[in-house]
Amino acid sequence: MQLTNRSKQVSNKEMTFMERAYLPAIATGLAITIKHFFAKKVTIEYPEVKRYLGPVFRGRHILKRDEDGRERCTACGLCAVACPAEAIQIVAAEREKGEEKLYREEKYAAVYEVNMLRCIFCGLCEEACPKQAVYLRHDEFVPVFAERDQVIWGKDLLVEDMNNRYTREAWTKEEARTLDLKRASGEVTNVVPRAIP
List contacts with another protein (CB under 8 A). Answer: 23, 26, 29-30, 32-34, 36-39, 41-43, 45
76 is in an annotated binding site: yes
Nearer to another protein, 32 or 162 (CB): 32
- 132: alpha, beta or left, given left = phi > 0 and alpha = psi -120 to 50? left
Nearer to another protein, 17 or 101 (CB): 17
In angstroms, what is the minimal distance from the CB of 66 to another protein?
A: 45
R_g of the chain, CA atoms, integer Å: 27
The candidate with the shortest Cα–Cα distance to 159, out of 80, 65, 59, is 65
Residue pair 62/156 in contact (Cβ under 8 Å)? The answer is no
In angstroms, what is the minimal distance from the CB of 42 to another protein?
A: 6
83 is in an annotated binding site: yes
In angstroms, what is the minimal distance from the CB of 103 to another protein?
A: 48
79 is in an annotated binding site: yes
Compute the distance between CA of residue 119 and CA of residue 164 in angstroms, rounded to an integer: 24
In angstroms, what is the minimal distance from the CB of 86 to another protein?
A: 39
DSSP bridge pairs for 91: 111
Nearer to another protein, 49 or 93 (CB): 49
69 is in an annotated binding site: no
What lies within 8 Å, CB to CB, of 97 at 6+ separation is none
57 is in an annotated binding site: no
122 is in an annotated binding site: yes
Nearer to another protein, 3 or 42 (CB): 42
| Sign of the dihedral through C-alpha 120, 111, 133, 82 | positive
Nearer to another protein, 23 or 192 (CB): 23
In angstroms, what is the minimal distance from the CB of 180 to another protein?
A: 23
Helix (H) or strand (E) segment spanning residue 177: helix 173-185
